[in-house]
Structure 1
Amino acid sequence: MLMQDRHCACIYYQDWHRAQRPRPATEGNILHGVSRAVAPQSSKGPVQPEFTSPRNTLTISTGGIVVAVGEASPNQTPPPVPAKTAASPNPVLPMAKLSFDEEAKLVYGVIFSLRNMVHKLSGRDEAFVNYKTSAYKLHLFETLTGYKFVLFTDPGADSMRYMLRQIYMGPFLEYVVRNPLVEMDSKERGIDSDHFRQATDRLVRSQSVFNK
């Protein structure tokens, strides 16, 4: 799920069952605090934060072990092989082709174009709420103040607009709008609130479509 404000900026990102790990955004093209998973890599070269899924099925770690294969000396003790544990990461997922900031711009462009087309063909009373392709379904809930809540699901999923509205009426109003520590419309930071992220995660996990 991602959120965009009326200035076309992505202010929040969270995913659950993404098949490709997101490529970090280009430095300077994304607000701070949007998500650790898509934060640009620092020029100083620290290790990129790992990308995980709440189901623990999409775990990416930059750490690893390199083992050289060859004939061992008779007097040489072979190095110990690390045992697999429950916390061991799963195979590395392919990375998305586009950087996250480019993905976010494409999403905004698609929504803007389809929304205008719906208004021109059906009138102002008709709202664009979702569209479906063979690979995914996009769900949209837009507030009167211009905030766009966007969710990508399996193409066979039912409309999730009601859930996006629940996120707006519940966690968003409670932990973002009414929180004096979260700067709204600052054009400098995304929604950097652990309470909002955790509440959104619980709400999404409670949906029947999450376990399908």
Structure 2
Amino acid sequence: MTIYCLYVFDRHCNCVYYHDWHRTNRPKRAVEGGGLLSGVSHALSPLQPSAPAQGSSAPSTPFTSPRNTLTSTSGVLVALSHSHQSQGTVVPQSAPPAAAGGGGGTGLPFDEEAKLVYGVILSLRNMIKRLSGRDESFVSYRTSTYKLHLFETVSGYRFVMLSDPNAESLRFVMRSIYTGPFLEYAVRNPLVPMDSRERGVDNEYFRASVDRLVRGLSVFQ
């Protein structure tokens, strides 16, 4: 069993955070003007028109600090090129949209992929409420190649995790992310404008904490 990726959506239907682990084909960068907020995933944001200064490997983020320990070899950064993919990770044939993705110039840009993922959970959630009543809730669905897990907070945030189809419920994992790293490094972070339509919640400490939590799970491979 394995975990593919994690999306976090706010109550405005915007993707505010993305993290992946076992995607051999990552999505393309978002299209400029496609509606993706800044601060969702630095590696998937639209390329800036101005080139970085000579000698710098990548543009800095507003969260960079001298204590930042993330490096390109730490396994925390996402959406790297095929030459940086982890060896030994295999995504099944006919993999899910979020597991197959668009690496190497194929697939959808990330902003379109995020909209499709949110559209799926919103449609299924509304269908269940109409057919089964308000007492029923949508928490997951399974296909032959992946399983989607949903965790919703009272404040309207939706955590969506895609995993191997044989994985048990991962709602406890998303709850742990919400009550731990999310509250500590997003909600209580004065640099993150919560409930805004201007930027996501990504920062070095939040990403590193989420990565450590997920990698420490028994279902993670």
Which residue number in structure 2 is paired with residue 13 of structure 1? 18
Worse-superposed segment, 108-117 or 19-28: 19-28
Which residue number in structure 2 is paired with residue 69 of structure 1? none
The one-letter amino acid paired with 1:31 is L
The whole-number CA distance in structure 2 between the counterparts of 1:120 and 1:108 is 18
The whole-number CA distance in structure 2 between the counterparts of 1:100 and 1:59 is 14
Superposition deviation, residue 115 in structure 1: 0.4
The one-letter amino acid paired with 1:103 is E
The one-letter amino acid paired with 1:60 is S
Which residue number in structure 2 is paired with residue 146 of structure 1? 156
Which residue number in structure 2 is paired with residue 205 of structure 1? 215
**Pairwise CA RMSD:** 2.8
Q: With structure 1 as the length reference, what TM-score do the two structures score?
A: 0.77
Pick aligned residue for 2:183 from 173, 179, 183: 173
Superposition deviation, residue 169 in structure 1: 0.8
Unaligned runs of 5+ in 2: 1-5, 60-71, 88-102
Unaligned runs of 5+ in 1: 62-87
The one-letter amino acid paired with 1:102 is E
Which residue number in structure 1 is paired with residue 69 of structure 2? none
Pick aligned residue for 2:81 from 22, 41, 60: 60
Aligned-partner SS, 1:127: coil
1:2 and 2:7 equivalent?
Answer: yes
CA contact (8 A) 2:43 2:80 kept: no
Higher relative contact order (CA 8 A, sep 6+): 2
Superposition deviation, residue 149 in structure 1: 0.5
CA 136–109 in structure 1, closer or farther in 2 if over 3 Å, else same:
same
CA 55–13 in structure 1, closer or farther in 2 if over 3 Å, else same:
closer
Aligned-partner SS, 2:162: strand
